[in-house]
Amino acid sequence: MLKKDNNENLPIKFSDYSSFQEIIKQRFSEISVMQVFTSILFIEFDDLSRFNDAFGFNIDDKLMLKISEDISLFLNSKDILARVGNHQFVIMQDLSSEESAEILAKRIIYMLSEPCIIDEHMFYIEASIGISLYPLDGNNITELIKTAENTMKYVQKNSKNHIGFSKDNILSLPCDKSIRLMADLPAAIENGEIYFLYQPQYSHTEKCFVGAELLARWEHPKYGDVPPELFISIAEQNGMIGPLTVKALVAASKAFAVFYKKGMNSFSLSLNISPIFLMARSFDETIEFLINQYDLLGKKLNFEITEEIVLKNTDTLLKTLEKLKSFDINIELDDFGTGYTSLQHLAYLPIDTLKIDKSFVYEIDKDVKKRALFKAIVEMSQALNINIIAEGIENSSENNIIKTFDSIIVQGYFYAKPMTLDSLVEKLESSVSEVVSVY
């Protein structure tokens, strides 16, 4: 732990969490009287204990100490630096603005681009930094730290060595709101506040809609529409992702029953499956039970998984995906191109479809490089016998480019927004009679 250090020229550092809390509260009360801008940086490093086996059991502590000394050089005497977890620091930067907080965070990330040297060994370390600002993000120091921590987690999920501000993070909410949402979620799953919409997917080859993505939505009685990223993240943290996924499977089962009744037996449904649900220990038995229970065997069911899971769980993932394939479930890799998938994964994991992320489609008409990347992904997939869905087509200029790839399937507001099951069925029935060729 850091030593308390009262040298006038150095920032205040703490050896234990409670004295840190005491001092930060006291300092914060002075700040709030003065009404000056202040920022909180929450920093988490990679799991530094991974070095302990090779370099000694407490090398992570030595690294934390070394980094704290280096960070201190960037701080002023009234700033506070504290180690608040095994591999976490909090910094309160006095008299700071959004710009100076960003400069500090960038200096820390830049510092980490050089190896950290201890006992002649070089260590490359990565970190994620979340920033909250006083008074913009609230006037309670505990909440400000929590907001910075949540923002750090949000940043960390997306990429390493990154910096995020609370305003960029839809997951950082005032504490009381997130607690209320957390408490309300279980009932919402049961009482219909959480419901599902269907966004159709169009095939240029077949000249019709061939499937839809099932999308969860939550209309909260007090807060209105809750962003799906937010409530799904809450569900993942609170053990509610299982019940939420079961609800989606039930909805899919009902939808298939409707499609079958109308003779639309080949219409497919794609469900977003959280890594937490997929990697749960009892997943194999759970999914087998659900497939039988909800009559999903032999239906055109697709599971969308994200690149994040492919990176983290390669060994067990292969077995899990093979199990899904044994139930005829197709595997779609969602948001493709934004994460870290090694192209090798595409060769040995049983992936049926890549969903090219909407960022590749956005303004593809104006960007030759995007167009080249898009074309390369399509050609690579064709060589690997993997299907393509292009997501996020919003206007006719983008569509004019995308539709030249006639073997792919397209999804986006230009074709159809997410809609209720009734509207979907209506759309499918009318487009069959019209023979859609408008696109």
Judged by the rule CB under 6 A, the positions of this chain that interact with ligand G are 199, 215, 228, 272, 334-335, 358, 391-394, 412-413, 418
Going by C-alpha positions, the residue among 145, 169, 143 that lies closest to residue 155 is 169
Binding characters for Mn ion, 262-301, by CB under 5 A (x = yes)? ----------x-----------------------------
Taking the least distance from each CB to ligand G, the nearer of 74 and 439 is: 439
- First vs last C-alpha separation in the chain: 63
Nearer to ligand G, 129 or 210 (CB): 210
CB of 25 to ligand G, least distance (A): 40
* Phi, psi for 315 (deg, rounded to 5): -70, -55
Quote the least distance from Cβ 228 to ligand G, whole Å: 6
392 binds, among Mn ion, ligand G, none (CB under 5 to 8 A by kind): ligand G
Phi first, then psi, for residue 309 (nearest 5°) are: -70, -35
Q: Which is nearer to Mn ion, 44 or 334 (CB)?
A: 334
Which regions of 280-350 does DSSP assign to beta strands (E)?
301-306, 330-336
The reply to whether 304 sits near Mn ion by the rule CB under 5 A is yes
Q: Which two tokens stand for residue 176?
A: 């009381």
- How many CB atoms neighbour CB 295 within 10 A? 13
Which amino acid makes up residue 254?
K
Structure tokens at 109: 């990330």
188 binds, among ligand G, Mn ion, none (CB under 5 to 8 A by kind): none
Rounded least distance, CB 316 to ligand G, Å: 23
For the bound state, the minimum distance from the C-beta of residue 246 to ligand G, rounded and expressed in Å, comes to 19
Minimum CB distance to ligand G, residue 157 (Å): 13
Q: Please give the size of the binding site for Mn ion, defined by CB under 5 A.
A: 3
**Residue 186 CB neighbours (<10 A):** 15
Distance of closest approach, residue 382 Cβ to ligand G, in angstroms: 22
Q: Are 39 and 100 in contact (CB under 8 A)?
A: yes
104 touches 81 (CB < 8 A): no
CB nearer to ligand G: pick between 215 and 279: 215
Q: Does 334 bind Mn ion (CB under 5 A)?
A: yes
For residues 14 and 414, which CB has a smaller minimum distance to Mn ion in the complex? 414
The smaller minimum CB distance to ligand G, of residues 103 and 215, is found at 215
DSSP 8-state assignment for residue 227: P
Closest CA to 389 of 362, 350, 348, 361: 361
